[in-house]
């Protein structure tokens, strides 16, 4: 626990963005000298929803600032390395003192950690400045060495989602859907070489701790998908190794297909797209989860095309690092 906490406004100038509408701008295919990033309230792609042509009448926001969604995907927080325009309900933070890129990334993570406090019904427009964050970044984080991942794809071919036939399936058609038998983390002995403890977080693949396997609690086999039911609803994760769970975690075991990390990445991307439908005021139940529908590409027999899903993920840049 950090002892010295300060308000965001103590370290950053907090300003409201340009407040533009994307449909009033001219889109471009990529970033160049004549284009600029358009940052919105999305939680994907570092907040960048499009590239647009520069407009001399609009002043862009400087790079090396942090964007924070006040509404929409509340507290979706990113460091922006390039100049950008901003959409509705987006704030940008400029450090009051000189900060390195690593420090700015650290504070982006700290702000995002408060995401669970908000939802579509409780936005951060009024309270953002007062959120508490550490007064300084720890040296172990600043000195952390990160190996740059390879951007190579496993499959050297391009696959199109738009060229596929798609069909709706209920979760209960595809998975055995059950609520995991929860165990209190406070009653477990933590061990860095232990089994995964899966909680209701969307970070770190849902894993909040590693615990010793000794004890009277349920351990589940890996190669399945875990789904938070309360708090971060539908922010699903793929578990490769044995694990135990906290409260309100659903476990999706494949029924009639073989799951692997590539298919799981495809499924989790689609599952997470429905997260906006739920919040603390409208939580998931087991019956509701079973009846939810997921749209998937299908083969000529109208069955889920698992091979296509696997090949599609393998064809993407950075897939060799999965």
Do 75 and 108 lie in one domain? The reply is yes
Q: What 8-state DSSP symbol labels residue 200?
A: S
Tell me if 153 is assigned to some domain: no
Number of structural domains found in the chain: 2
The end-to-end CA distance of the chain, in Å, is 32
Tell me if 149 is assigned to some domain: no
pLDDT of residue 281: 60
21: tokens are: 């509408």
CB 170 within 8 A of CB 291: yes
Do 125 and 178 lie in one domain? The reply is no
pLDDT of residue 79: 98
Q: How many CB atoms lie within 10 A of CB 35?
A: 18
pTM above 0.85, yes or no: no
CB 139 within 8 A of CB 13: no
Do 135 and 212 lie in one domain? The reply is no
Tell me if 148 is assigned to some domain: no
Do 131 and 183 lie in one domain? The reply is no
Q: How far apart are CA 277 and CA 234, in angstroms?
A: 9
* Pair type for strands 84-86 and 12-16: unpaired
Q: Strand locations in the chain, DSSP E?
A: 5-7, 12-16, 27-28, 35-39, 48-53, 65-69, 77-80, 84-86, 90-95, 132-134, 166-170, 175-179, 190-198, 207-211, 224-228, 237-239, 243-245, 249-254, 293-297
Do 171 and 313 lie in one domain? The reply is yes
DSSP code string of 87-147: -TTEEEEEESS---HHHHHHHHHHHHTTGGG-BTTB-STTTGGG-EEESS--HHHHT---P
pLDDT of residue 280: 57
The distance from CA 24 to its chain's CA centroid, rounded to whole angstroms, is 28
CATH number reported for the structural domain that contains residue 220 in this entry: 3.90.220.20
Q: How many CB atoms lie within 10 A of CB 105?
A: 17
Do 138 and 173 lie in one domain? The reply is no
For 307-320, give the secondary structure using H, E and C.
HHHHHHHHCCCCHH
Do 79 and 12 lie in one domain? The reply is yes
- Containing domain of residue 247, as a range? 166-321
Tell me if 156 is assigned to some domain: no
pLDDT per residue over 98-137, tens digit each? Answer: 999 999 999 999 999 888 787 666 788 899 999 999 999 9
Do 135 and 173 lie in one domain? The reply is no
Q: How many CB atoms lie within 10 A of CB 185?
A: 14
Q: How far apart are CA 135 and CA 41, in angstroms?
A: 26
Of 85, 109, 142, which marks where a domain is finished? 142
44: tokens are: 């994907």
Do 116 and 44 lie in one domain? The reply is yes
Do 175 and 133 lie in one domain? The reply is no
Tell me if 191 is assigned to some domain: yes
pLDDT of residue 192: 84
Query: Which residues in the chain land under pLDDT 70?
Result: 1-3, 119-121, 278-282
Do 75 and 198 lie in one domain? The reply is no
Tell me if 311 is assigned to some domain: yes
Q: How far apart are CA 93 and CA 112, in angstroms?
A: 13
């Amino acid at each position: 626990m950090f002892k010295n906490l300060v308000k965001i406004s103590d370290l950053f100038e907090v300003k409201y963005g340009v407040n533009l509408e994307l449909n009033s701008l001219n889109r471009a295919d990529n970033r160049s000298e004549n284009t600029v990033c358009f940052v919105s309230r999305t939680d994907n792609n570092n907040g960048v929803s499009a590239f647009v042509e520069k407009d001399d009448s609009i002043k862009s926001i400087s790079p090396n600032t942090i964007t924070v969604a006040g509404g929409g995907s509340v507290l979706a927080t990113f460091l922006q390395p390039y100049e950008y325009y901003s959409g509705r309900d987006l704030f940008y933070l400029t450090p009051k003192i000189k900060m390195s890129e690593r420090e700015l990334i650290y504070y982006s993570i700290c702000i995002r950690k408060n995401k669970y406090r908000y939802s579509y019904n409780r936005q951060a427009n009024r309270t953002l400045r007062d959120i508490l964050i550490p007064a300084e970044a720890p040296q172990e984080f600043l000195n952390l060495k990160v190996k740059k991942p390879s951007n190579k794809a496993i499959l050297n071919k391009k696959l199109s989602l738009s060229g596929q036939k798609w069909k709706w399936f209920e979760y209960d058609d595809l998975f055995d859907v059950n609520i995991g038998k929860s165990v209190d983390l406070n009653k477990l002995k933590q061990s860095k070489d232990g089994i995964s403890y899966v909680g209701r977080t969307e970070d770190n693949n849902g894993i909040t701790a590693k615990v010793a396997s000794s004890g009277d609690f349920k351990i589940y086999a890996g190669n399945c998908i875990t789904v938070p039911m309360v708090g971060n609803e539908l922010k699903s994760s793929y578990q490769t190794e044995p694990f135990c769970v906290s409260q309100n975690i659903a476990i999706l075991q494949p029924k009639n297909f073989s799951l692997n990390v590539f298919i799981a990445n495809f499924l989790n991307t689609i599952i997470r797209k429905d997260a906006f439908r739920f919040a603390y005021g409208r939580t998931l139940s087991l019956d509701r989860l079973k009846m939810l529908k997921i749209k998937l590409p299908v083969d000529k027999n109208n069955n889920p095309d698992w091979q296509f899903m696997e090949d599609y993920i393998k064809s993407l840049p950075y897939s060799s690092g999965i």
